[in-house]
Amino acid sequence: MPREKERDRVERLYSKVDVYHLVENLESCLQCGKCAGICPVASLSPSYNPRQIIHDILSGSEKRWLESEEIWQCFWCASCYTLCPSDIFFPLLMMQIRYLALAGRHGLQYFTPFKRFAQRAREDGLTFAPANPKSRDRIMKIRTGIGLSPWPDISDKAREHYRALFDLTGTTAFLENLEEGEQKPLPLNYMEGRITRAGRKGRPAGK
């Protein structure tokens, strides 16, 4: 792992990351490694390590995780939270650092599908509505078969309220400001220097 120089460290990085005050106990991290031990992503990806990401945030090291592939590998299963002795809700921390990455146009390839899904939900008034016609037809067939209307009836008032929630929370503006376009490459920044079970740097055990 390349070391960041002192001049590259960000003052009060923790407060910059936890802007929504969702993980205010990050400094209680014991660096015990239980989060990495139970994480299914860490078991598959030799460079993913939530403990190291926490350490970087607390020490003011921003560049490594901000421009990394690793922060997009977490799928929010919350296994780390269930085992953490300090009750650190790491998935909510990950959500916030992804917002920061997106602001710098890192990880757009992962966000674009969600952006389209969210914009469609705002217009339809339905949180989960497949865009694929075949999937819609299958849902309509199932609903009809159990005596329901082919598709949920959403009133104009309900659609209006749903759109208002998007607008008032700033979600609409956030989605619109993230324009699709050139995407910056995302390297595995935590791969270099990692010590594996085989004791070799930067290579998974058994290779």
For the domain that residue 61 is a member of, what is the CATH number?
Answer: 1.10.1060.10
For residue 61, is it within any domain? yes
On whether both 60 and 115 belong to a single domain, the answer is no
For residue 184, is it within any domain? no
Q: Which of 108, 99, 157, 159 is nearest to 129 (CA)?
A: 159
Q: Which of 188, 194, 174, 198 is nearest to 67 (CA)?
A: 188
Domain count, the chain: 2
The residue from 103, 121, 147 where one domain ends is 103
pTM of the model: 0.72
Q: Which residue has the tokens 């299958």?
A: 138
Which residues have CB under 8 Å from 153's CB, separation 6+? none
181 band by pLDDT with thresholds 50, 70 and 90 = low
Residue 114 has pLDDT above 90, yes or no: no
On whether both 15 and 99 belong to a single domain, the answer is yes
Q: How far is CA 64 from the centre of its chain?
A: 16
6 band by pLDDT with thresholds 50, 70 and 90 = low
Region 134-150: mean pLDDT is 93
On whether both 112 and 166 belong to a single domain, the answer is yes
Residue 156 has pLDDT above 90, yes or no: yes
What distance, in Å, lies between the first and last C-alpha atoms of the chain?
19
Domain residues for the domain of 96 are: 6-103
